[in-house]
Structure 1
Amino acid sequence: MSEGGGTVDPAPGGGSAGDGLELGRLRRESALERLKKALAEREVPAPQLEGYPLWKARKILDLVRIPAERLQLKLVESEQPRGTIVSQRPRPGQKIDLEDPRQKIELQIADSSILHYLPQIYQRSDLTGRNFVADLLWIMQHIQAQTEWKLEHLHHYFDPHECPPEFLDYLASWVALTLEDDWPELKRRSLIKKAVELYHLRGTPRGLRVYLRLFTGVDPLIEENAWPFDGLVVGVTSTVGVETVLMHSVQRAHAFIVHIPLGIDEVDVETVLKIHRIIEQEKPVHTDYYLTFAEPEEEERDTSFTIGITSTIGVDAWLQGEAAEMYDPLAGPAMAPAEDGED
């Protein structure tokens, strides 16, 4: 600031102090926007669950990626149909944090106390309005309700798209289908759903293509009656240990090539082994196969040069036509050829 106090010194870099304050404000607003965006991605509004049966409410929660472990269920006396949700917390529209397992979804479910089946003397309340027998019976009903809900919706356990994830392996064993542990859940469910249909295609190129497409996500190419190696004559066209592959005898009529349109650098060793297991499981037992992947694309090399900068004529560059003898700076000037008759 000047002696009179009327001017402001410019900020370092040529900008004023006001510009620096404005830049700081914009940065804070940008950080706030990023935070709001991150919270919006991890928070979803609570769906409307009241009035729906419990099994349908579970489906709705699955659609918004809320696991069943975050549900807290409570049976309450209600005149609504048994199993209907009569109340929920959080309320519809309130935010639910998908990444906070401590935030629970509380559901009150309509039911009828079995106290009504006991003699009238057990249905009386004390001076505070509480009934110890009724409270004890509600605890028993909560314990039994989990089993009752499973029995009432037992058919969902036999649907690959409805059963719990831990039931998939057992369901797959019913159709003699082996699933890899690290396969995505959706892929495991799809394979079980199509198991009976795929059995009609087992041992055929189409069936093998379907299995490989489900696993790799790409359409493989299957070439029947083919083998990548031709015959050879040792010592004439090939050399043992250099350009030969020792294999068992293969008949082309019972052989095929499986080509996966993925680069070998796009798959890991475990994926390659799983592809081999799928082919071994689905191919006819008497056939041989050979697995190939897409060849890597060759990169174009720049062969251009600039005379006098990257290359020198007569040293590492020659004009088109008959090339002159390479110049060697250590050999001195080239000697002219001797004429006939001279020593």
Structure 2
Amino acid sequence: MTCAPAAATFRLLDDVVGWDEAGWDGVVGFADPAGVRLALAGPSPEGPTREQLLPWFPGPRLAPGCRAGAWYLLAGDRLLYRDACSAGWRPLWRCDPGLLREPVAVASRGHRVAVADSGQVLVWRNEGDRLVAVIDVPGAELVALAPHGRVLVSREGRTGLSWYGPDGRPCGGVETGVRGRIIGLRTGPGRAIWLLTEHHGILRIHRGGPDGRFAEATLAELAAALPPSTLVAAGEDGFCLREQGPDGEVTSCYDWCGEPRPEPPPGPGPYVPEGEFTTEPIDSGISRCRWHRVRVSADVPPGTAVSVAVVVSEDGKYADTDWQTAPPGVTDLLIDQPPGRYLTARVRLSGDTLATPALRRVRLDFPRATSADLLPAAFRQDPAADDFTERFLSLFDATLDEIDKVIERYPALLDPAGVPDAALPWLAGLLGLSFEAGWDAATRRELIARAPELYRRRGTPWALSEAIRIVFGAAPVIDELADDRHWAQVRAIAGPTGARGLGSVRLFGRSASRFRLGGSGLGAAPLRAFGDPDTDPLAEHAHRFRVLLPGGTADEKALRRLVRRQAPAHTSGTVRIGGTGFVVGARSAVGVDTAFAPLPPPVLGSVRLNHDGVLRPGPRGARHGVDVGVVSAVGVHTRVS
């Protein structure tokens, strides 16, 4: 029992605190967080069973192909092939070359096929069209194909594995160190090797690598690493495949010669029909304690049941007739037993052998406490009436207790880390957030969690930068263009004697904002027909900002939408996502029709252009000159410095 500073009022039975099991039969899972369940029939009560492993280890005579619905089958001395387009099995070679004598195992990976036959391993490419290797391996029992054309072979009576190259040359071996016989061999991603072993009738899964370090693995780990096949049943008479057809799933059954056979009638399921366990006497620490309630938390599929029985005693001793048994299906039981310090519980699980209930937790409440304790003493003078009142009011207490649980758990509904993914849009609606379709669940949860802080600082560069970082996973650079305004400009001029000096200083120069007669150079200022030109130096970049992100980190349209929603209403933002940048030498040639030379200072009448100004000719070509106002551009140039 757990220790607490206050007196205990309940006791839990689960995998964390312990089940206090004194004896059990037909049940397993006392240390499993999934709960106590019925045992599997056979020598391995906790599994896995051979039927559960068939999708990943179909047996040495069967191997799934690379295409959907493709399979290879060893039928005597023939290798048969079946795909989704064929109605049945056919020989892999139309004209049997007689290569196979006594084949024992087949494997496939991609378009390669390997067969272990009479101390040799034969490897074909292009699904049997070309024989590429014949490897001498005495006692070869299982074969598996690995990436890069390598072949992995296990030998009869040995726990070591042998590697061979695409051309059949030996590449070393691996000593697995597993116990028992290797009956299944697979290779997986990350150069992983999966083994299925049998030792005294118990099946075990092992995962290892080329370094020879193997460890036991679970069926869940195997299923996460390798995709399952469509094999659903296999026995001495044949096997069955369950595949997706045009009208739904279709089950096809064959014998070991590839001939169709009817689907066998369903046999007994993998589980035992019933099981039970009994606890040790559980000490309440209270003499003549009035035990109150038993609550069972379990998953009960159709066809299964969970039944609980309790007995209370002062010294831990009881008779078989003292048990109080709840009807099957009752998961909340009021204890109707004489007072006693110890309670013993017995739990029985039953099923139809196809499914099993899972008992996750049992809670025992003590001492008895009901709302009858709040009644005046006059209502509790008669012992018989007092017992009835307690049991009657306990019905309402149980209902109120469930309501209290809902109220206690209500804050969890507002926790973005605890709600399901489907509830995130509802939770975001309470905060006024809207999600885009491309955002994953982790991004949505972080946005909801950071929403209060983002709202408090909304409209600031920090809030905009943080929102972009959460959504796109990259820290942006935010430039406020008001900081880039030219408040003063100092120009260098040449004196009469050739000496250089400082020219005039222009504060809030008008020529840099818009074109003015007599004050702006040709091609140096934009033409605008709105607003007051005197306020251009102040308003040119006011309330404007630019968001810069590295290339490949975000979609530009999505970034624009996010910036538009997060920016203050009086501002205008632009977005720029970097690319490869300016690359010299990628598609340019220096010296071929290219000249780097200063441009002569052009003069147009009495108006002098800038020192690097260029007049671009119109659409009729350079010989026809410049058409002002048609397509020509003044001051358009490229400068490399």
TM (norm. structure 2) is 0.27
Q: Larger Rg: 1 or 2?
A: 2
